[in-house]
């Protein structure tokens, strides 16, 4: 199968590159959250709710004491003072899950502990500090309490029928606690996208090896695996692929059966061993090859058919597998993940499309040269209250991204950024 756009690239290099915004628009249009799956509450923290959660119960289901003390009729205490306390007859006790079974009448009190059901007839809890136990059956109120004081009302926390959490919510620890309180055992969470990582290049050794001769150690896959895991993916074991058209093709076919996103490192460009773009064009739609971006210009994006067709028309069409052909240079890999692949991983997992980095607006310490029509991903340091650019070159030197506090993006519309102007820095650390 021949693809005109692909042949153009293969023969003459990257003559036309897609602009960053066009690529983002394409990815935005072609991706959406994966369907939900049941997840036990014990594993739900950090997951994204696929469905709204509505409560079937009131919490609390009974009026309960908010203080240790005495359940009383508030009116009885109206005139009570420390010097003229009001004596009440103690008729029983209410403990958590062991309520007082009778009813409190005027002039009576029931000893109560925090969390215990407030007995019928009582409408306030007098704190122990404001009462004096005078005998086994007599307590004196030394201060007045108003009706409702220190009582947690029925449904004060959660009302039956109310929305507890919206769909799309990334569950925080307190969310999981609240879900437990309404009797939730399982939530419906957006399925975590499965990410396959393929590494091409016969020069690369797996992590753990020591660089030797002309061989280098694969730094891309550990970085990509960590990025994808951060973004909520379930990362499949890394696969090393020979620089051979049939091997690359077979690896892509297999990965497309196992994952929703494929990150393929290296072999993206127009060299004689760059087989991934051709294989992608043959297996699916090579929608992008070459982006007006530095680094990561050779980035390719393809949509491969997902395994399994939908069973009937009522089901949403199966989303394609998104394949990212990531340039081999490690900083390019990082940049392409940050700007494109990460958004797709997060989107499929029901998370935000936005970059997951905190931003700061600070003045630039130096001019940053760029080119109109191209976005530049500039590693920067924040020194004092200034942004110091570390340059866009040296995409093979990962140490520049390690030294950086974050990055600045030079928009395509600008030929350079000027010293002193305020720029947005995306900070790598949270
Ligand atoms: N005619 C053109 N040639 C190239 C262009 C271009 O626009 N026109 N762009 C250059 C740029 S920029 C990059 S980036 C590379 C991207 O090429 P590939 O994706 O095919 O990457 P490789 O050639 O396989 O590797 C590039 C570089 O990165 C090292 N590498 C590869 N894999 C890993 C890994 N897993 N861990 C660490 N380092 C890795 C590899 O040894 C190379 O040094 O194309 C240019 N050519
Ligand atoms: O992606 Mo290349 O720098 O742009 O190394």
pLDDT single digits (tens) 169-178: 999 999 999 9
Q: Answer yes or no: are the C-beta atoms of 261 and 193 closer than 8 Å.
A: yes
Strand 416-417 with 368-369, pairing? antiparallel
Residues forming a β-bridge with 54: 163
pLDDT at 12 over 50: no
Q: Per mean pLDDT, which range of 8-12, 44-48, 316-320, 346-350 is the poorest?
A: 8-12
Predicted local confidence at residue 2, as pLDDT: 41
Closest ligand by atom to 328 CA: 1
Distance of CA 241 to the CA centre of its chain: 31
Going from the Cα of 146 to the center of ligand 2, the distance in angstroms, rounded, reads 72
Given pLDDT bands bounded at 50, 70 and 90, which one contains residue 341?
Answer: very high
Pocket probe mutation, ligand 2, options 290, 291, 295, max atoms within 8 Å of Cβ: 295
User: Regarding the domain delimited by 4-35+191-348, which CATH topology (the fold level of the hierarchy) does it fall under?
Assistant: Molybdenum Cofactor Biosythetic Enzyme; Chain A (3.40.980)
Predicted local confidence at residue 85, as pLDDT: 98
Given pLDDT bands bounded at 50, 70 and 90, which one contains residue 272?
Answer: confident
DSSP letter assigned to residue 340 = I
- Ligand 1 atom 35: residue of nearest CA: 218
Going from the Cα of 336 to the center of ligand 2, the distance in angstroms, rounded, reads 10
pLDDT in tens, 182-222: 999 999 999 999 999 999 999 999 999 999 999 999 999 99
Check pocket membership of 14 for ligand 1, CB cut-off 6 A: yes
What is the C-alpha radius of gyration for the chain, rounded to an integer number of angstroms?
32
Nearest to 70 by CA among 116, 114, 120, 128: 128
Pocket probe mutation, ligand 2, options 290, 395, 397, 401, max atoms within 8 Å of Cβ: 395
Distance of CA 399 to the CA centre of its chain: 27
Given pLDDT bands bounded at 50, 70 and 90, which one contains residue 310?
Answer: low
- Ligand 2 atom 4: residue of nearest CA: 295
Phi-psi region of 92 (alpha: psi -120 to 50; beta: other; left: phi over 0): left
Predicted local confidence at residue 309, as pLDDT: 53
Cα gap 36→71, rounded to integer Å: 47
Predicted local confidence at residue 8, as pLDDT: 46
For the residues 348-363, what does the mean pLDDT come to? 97
Please state, for a pLDDT cut of 70, what percent of the chain lies above it: 94
Check pocket membership of 297 for ligand 2, CB cut-off 6 A: yes
Q: Which atom of ligand 2 is nearest to the CA of 299?
A: 1
Check pocket membership of 350 for ligand 2, CB cut-off 6 A: no
- Ligand 2 atom 1: residue of nearest CA: 296
- Ligand 2 atom 3: residue of nearest CA: 295
Given pLDDT bands bounded at 50, 70 and 90, which one contains residue 1?
Answer: very low
For the residues 280-285, what does the mean pLDDT come to? 96
- Ligand 1 atom 40: residue of nearest CA: 328
For the residues 258-262, what does the mean pLDDT come to? 98
Q: How far is CA 114 from CA 9, 59, 70, 89, 93, in A?
A: 73, 16, 10, 21, 12
Going from the Cα of 326 to the center of ligand 2, the distance in angstroms, rounded, reads 10
- The class (CATH top level) of 358-427 is mainly beta
Domains of the chain: which residue ranges? 4-35+191-348, 39-59+169-189, 64-152, 358-427
Q: Which atom of ligand 2 is nearest to the CA of 332?
A: 1
Cα gap 304→301, rounded to integer Å: 10
Q: How far is CA 54 from CA 105, 157, 175, 284, 362, in A?
A: 38, 13, 13, 42, 44
Check pocket membership of 329 for ligand 2, CB cut-off 6 A: yes
DSSP letter assigned to residue 34 = P
Predicted local confidence at residue 312, as pLDDT: 64
CA angle 369/375/377 to nearest 5° reads: 75
Cα gap 132→87, rounded to integer Å: 9
Q: Which atom of ligand 2 is nearest to the CA of 335?
A: 1
Given pLDDT bands bounded at 50, 70 and 90, which one contains residue 315?
Answer: low
> For the chain, what is the mean pLDDT?
94
Check pocket membership of 329 for ligand 1, CB cut-off 6 A: yes
Q: How many CB atoms lie within 10 A of CB 199?
A: 22
Residues forming a β-bridge with 285: 303
Going from the Cα of 128 to the center of ligand 2, the distance in angstroms, rounded, reads 72
Choose between 8 and 59: higher pLDDT.
59
pLDDT in tens, 369-408: 999 999 999 999 999 999 999 965 589 999 999 999 999 9
User: What are the tokens at 290?
Assistant: 């070459």
Given pLDDT bands bounded at 50, 70 and 90, which one contains residue 9?
Answer: very low
Superfamily (CATH H level) for 64-152:
Molybdopterin biosynthesis moea protein, domain 3. (2.170.190.11)
Pocket probe mutation, ligand 2, options 327, 397, 400, max atoms within 8 Å of Cβ: 327
């Amino acid at each position: 199968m021949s693809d005109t756009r692909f042949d153009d690239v293969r023969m003459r290099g990257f003559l036309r590159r897609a602009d960053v915004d066009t690529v983002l628009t394409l990815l935005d249009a072609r991706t959406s959250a994966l369907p939900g799956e049941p997840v036990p509450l014990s594993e739900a923290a950090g997951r994204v709710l696929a469905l709204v959660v509505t409560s079937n119960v009131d919490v609390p289901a009974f009026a309960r004491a908010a203080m240790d003390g005495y359940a009383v009729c508030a009116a009885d205490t109206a005139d009570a003072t420390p010097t003229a306390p009001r004596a009440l007859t103690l008729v029983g006790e209410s403990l958590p899950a062991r309520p007082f079974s009778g009813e409190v009448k005027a002039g009576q009190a029931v000893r109560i502990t925090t969390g215990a059901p407030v007995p019928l007839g009582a409408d306030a809890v007098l704190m122990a500090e404001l009462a004096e136990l005078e005998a086994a059956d007599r307590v004196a109120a030394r201060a007045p309490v108003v009706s409702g004081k220190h009582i947690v009302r029925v449904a004060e926390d959660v009302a039956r029928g109310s929305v507890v959490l919206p769909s799309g919510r990334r569950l925080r620890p307190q969310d999981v606690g609240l879900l437990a309180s309404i009797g939730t055992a399982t939530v419906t969470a957006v399925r975590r996208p499965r990410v396959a990582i393929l590494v091409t290049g016969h020069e690369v050794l797996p992590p753990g090896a020591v660089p030797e001769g002309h061989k280098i150690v694969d730094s891309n896959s550990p970085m990509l695996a960590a990025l994808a895991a951060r973004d909520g993916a379930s990362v499949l074991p890394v696969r090393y692929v020979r620089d051979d058209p049939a091997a690359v093709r077979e690896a892509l076919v297999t990965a497309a059966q196992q994952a929703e996103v494929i990150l393929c490192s290296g072999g993206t460009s127009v060299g004689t061993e760059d087989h991934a773009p051709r294989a992608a064009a043959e297996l699916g739609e090579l929608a992008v090859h070459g982006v007006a971006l530095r680094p990561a210009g050779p980035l390719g994006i393809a949509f491969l058919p997902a395994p399994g067709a939908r069973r009937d028309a009522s089901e949403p069409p199966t989303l394609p597998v998104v394949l990212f052909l990531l340039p081999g240079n490690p900083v390019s890999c990082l940049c392409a993940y940050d700007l494109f692949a990460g958004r797709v991983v997060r989107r499929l997992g029901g998370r935000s499309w936005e970059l997951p980095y905190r931003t700061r607006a600070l003045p630039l310490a130096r001019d940053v040269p760029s080119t109109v029509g191209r976005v530049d991903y500039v590693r920067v340091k924040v020194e004092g209250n200034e942004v110091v650019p570390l340059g866009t070159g040296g995409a093979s030197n990962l140490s520049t991204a390690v030294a950086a506090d974050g990055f600045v993006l030079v928009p395509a519309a600008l030929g350079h950024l000027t010293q002193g102007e305020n720029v947005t820095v995306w900070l790598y650390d949270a």
